[in-house]
Structures are given as C-alpha cells and as structure tokens.
C-alpha cells in the first residue's frame, strides 16, 4: 500500500512484528556499511519463525480470523540479512516468483494469491525490513534503495534462480529499482500492481493536487518528527474501526475488507519499531522515480492498474506515464482493472489472476 498524506491522519500503517532478539545498532551507519559485525549476536541464515512468549500467538487472535491466515503466519521462515532477521514464505514448485508487499502490508496481504500461484510456480513472499515479522530497528532510516538491495540479496542468497518480481505500490517501485540494478541473472520478469511514484507523496511534484497541499505535506513532516504527536496519530489510526474505514476507502471491492485484512494491518502495529518505521517512511526521501527507471528495464513487464486507486490514479502523472508505455516499450503489457483500488491482488484477485497467470506461462 502507498503512503498517503491528507488533511486527515495518514492512511497507512507501518507494520512490525514481535522482536525476535535484542541487538546493538547505531542508526548513523549507512546501509553499505552494515554487516553482521555491527550486531552483538549471530543467527542461522534461515530458520523457522518463532515468536517469544511475550508476543502475540501466531494463532488467530480476533473473532473471525481464518485458519488460512493463521497457516500463513505459521509457515513463515527467517533469513538473516546483514544482521537483520527477514521473514519470508515459500510454497509450491515451478519457476520462482517473489511477492513484494506495499507500505503498511506484509506477507499475508498476498493471502488470496499464494495458493493459486503456487500450483504452477515456486512462490516466495517477503516482509521488507520494517514490516510484518521482519526486524524494525529503532531509528533506522528507511529508503527505497535499502529495500531494493534486500530484494536482490534475497534472490542471490535464497532463491538462487532467475525470478519474476511481483510488487504492489511501494513494493512495485522497490522491484523496479532492483530490476534496473540487476545484472540480468536474477530478474527474469516484472509485474507491477499500481506502482508507487515514490516512498511517499513528496515524489509526485508535478501533480497539481500534490502541489496544492505541498505546504501541508512539509508541515506534516515536521509534526511527525515530534515523537509525541506522531505517536498520537499512529495510535488513533491503528484503532480497528478507524483502520476499517481507511481500508474501505482504498479498496474498490468493499467486501474484500474483512476481519482478516484488518488483522493483517493491525496485528504488528504495537511492536517496537513500528512507529519509527512509519515516521521514517512518511518523512524520508521519496527515492528514485519509476519514470526515470523504466527505460532501463529489459525484461518482460506486466502492469496491472486498478481504475479506482485514490493514491496513484490513472489521471495522475504516474498513472499517465504507465498508461503510455505499451506504445513505447515492446516487452510491456498493460491492463486496466475495473472497479479495483490500490491493492488489486487482494481487492479483486480474480481479475489479477486472469491476466497474471497466462503472462507467467508465456514468459521465458
């Protein structure tokens, strides 16, 4: 999901999970300088995900939560990346593909896709650093480039085969960055679901709607950097009823907003580091623009766009740019999904699978 800044409190939450360990971390370190030596413990490269006794159980914790959602949580494993624990899931057999969530989401947001896609592919799904059950180091400065490098390292160290990247929103942009930096043997295809224009709305400077409220965005940045104010906003947004109303505004198919979805978004929001990740993502640098990156992409690309997206609308600069690409890039296909919001894969999964599965079958 995307980062949205309006006159109301921000509409997306940053996820976090129960802390798996304690470590010493200096936030002044740059990404390139991070290595396991910066941390006061060592862990196995991969292991089954376990939660400490003080954390929530991985079984359903709210009325109406499905067994399927619980099974997703229980199936997750851990990969150690530069001293951080990163949660991931793998299921199925066949050519690999990697699912990358958007801001405010995590692995279970692909709940309606993992089963059907794993019938013909090896499906990997990952929680980016700062989200879901992955680590959320206090004070960390999150960037699009960090997430892109995490994706490339995951492909090299875990998947070890050319992979199709499937991303939503900010996850799409992270996939675009990764594909643009890949040397060609890691990424074999790219699927973008309502790709974000940046890590936050400050990237969309040529949209009159953003220009109109730009002074407000800078004010929000300032306020969110005041920890007490940010905490008050965060606490209000993550209340179940408020969260439900936000999600209904994001989805075209309102019936898709069920108790499972609310739990997926709400569940990790109480964990240490969740607030820091939220603040960093909303107030940090927007990162590279997909408009500058797409000309560098040589692998086949499938673009799926919900026509009721309030965050990256078709008539906005990013939507218009992607709509123009089929006539400019021969290996790119674009489909507009009617009645669909910002998260097509969960909003109307049947429409996504109708286009995605045949594309995967004909993509070498």
pLDDT of residue 353: 98
Q: Fill in the DSSP letter of residue 254.
A: G
Per-residue pLDDT, 224: 63
CA atoms within 13 A on the CB side of 192: 33
Gyration radius of the chain over CA positions: 19
Q: What is the pLDDT of residue 6?
A: 36
| Predicted pLDDT at 149 | 98
Strand ranges (E), 21-149: 46-48, 77-81, 84-91, 96-100, 122-126
Mean pLDDT by 10 residues, the chain (364 residues): 40 35 35 35 40 35 74 96 98 97 95 98 98 94 97 98 97 98 91 92 54 55 68 81 94 96 89 88 89 94 97 92 95 98 98 98 92
| Locus of tokens 């940053």 | 14
Task: Check residue 63 and give its pLDDT.
Answer: 52
**How far is Cα 44 from Cα 325, in angstroms, rounded to an integer?**
43
**Is the CB of residue 87 less than 8 Å from the CB of residue 132?**
yes
pLDDT at 237: 80
Residue 116 backbone phi and psi in degrees, to 5: -70, -35
Beta-carbon count within 10 A of 214 CB: 14
Amino acid 283: pLDDT: 85
Identify the pLDDT of residue 11: 34
Q: What is the pLDDT of residue 233?
A: 78
d(CA 32, CA 333): 35
pLDDT of residue 227: 77
Strand order in the sheet with 77-81: 46-48, 77-81, 84-91, 122-126, 96-100, 163-168, 187-193, 301-306, 332-337
What is the maximum span of the chain, computed from C-alpha positions, in angstroms? 55
């Amino acid at each position: 999901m995307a980062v949205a800044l309006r006159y109301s409190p921000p509409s997306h939450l940053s996820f976090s999970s129960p802390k798996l360990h304690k470590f010493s971390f200096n936030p002044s370190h740059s990404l390139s300088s991070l290595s396991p030596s910066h941390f006061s413990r060592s862990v196995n490269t991969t292991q089954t995900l376990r939660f400490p006794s003080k954390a929530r159980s991985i079984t359903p914790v709210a009325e109406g939560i499905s067994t399927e959602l619980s099974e997703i949580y229980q199936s997750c494993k851990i990969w150690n990346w530069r001293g951080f624990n990163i949660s991931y899931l793998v299921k199925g057999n066949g050519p690999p593909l990697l699912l990358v969530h958007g801001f405010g989401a995590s692995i279970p947001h692909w709940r309606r896709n993992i089963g059907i896609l794993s019938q013909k592919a090896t499906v990997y799904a990952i929680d980016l650093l700062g989200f879901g059950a992955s680590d959320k180091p206090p004070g960390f400065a999150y960037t699009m480039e960090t997430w892109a490098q995490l994706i490339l390292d995951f492909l090299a160290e875990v998947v070890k085969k050319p992979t199709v990247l499937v991303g939503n929103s900010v996850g799409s942009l992270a996939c675009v960055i990764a594909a643009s930096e890949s040397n060609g043997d890691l990424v074999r295809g790219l699927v973008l679901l309502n790709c974000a224009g940046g890590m936050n709305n400050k990237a969309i400077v040529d949209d009159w709607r953003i220009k109109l409220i730009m002074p407000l965005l800078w004010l929000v940045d300032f306020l969110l950097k005041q920890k007490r104010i940010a905490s008050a906003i965060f606490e209000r947004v993550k209340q179940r009823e408020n969260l439900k109303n936000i999600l209904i505004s994001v989805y075209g198919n309102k019936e898709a907003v069920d108790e499972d979805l609310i739990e997926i978004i709400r569940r990790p929001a109480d964990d240490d580091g969740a607030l820091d990740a939220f603040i960093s993502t909303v107030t940090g640098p927007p990162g590279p623009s997909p408009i500058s990156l797409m000309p560098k992409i040589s692998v086949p690309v499938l673009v799926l766009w919900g026509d009721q997206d309030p965050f990256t609308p078709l008539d906005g600069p990013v939507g218009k740019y992607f709509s123009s690409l089929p006539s400019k890039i021969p290996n790119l296909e674009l489909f507009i999904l009617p009645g669909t919001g910002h998260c097509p894969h969960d909003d109307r999964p049947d429409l996504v699978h109708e286009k995605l599965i045949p594309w995967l079958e004909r993509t070498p």
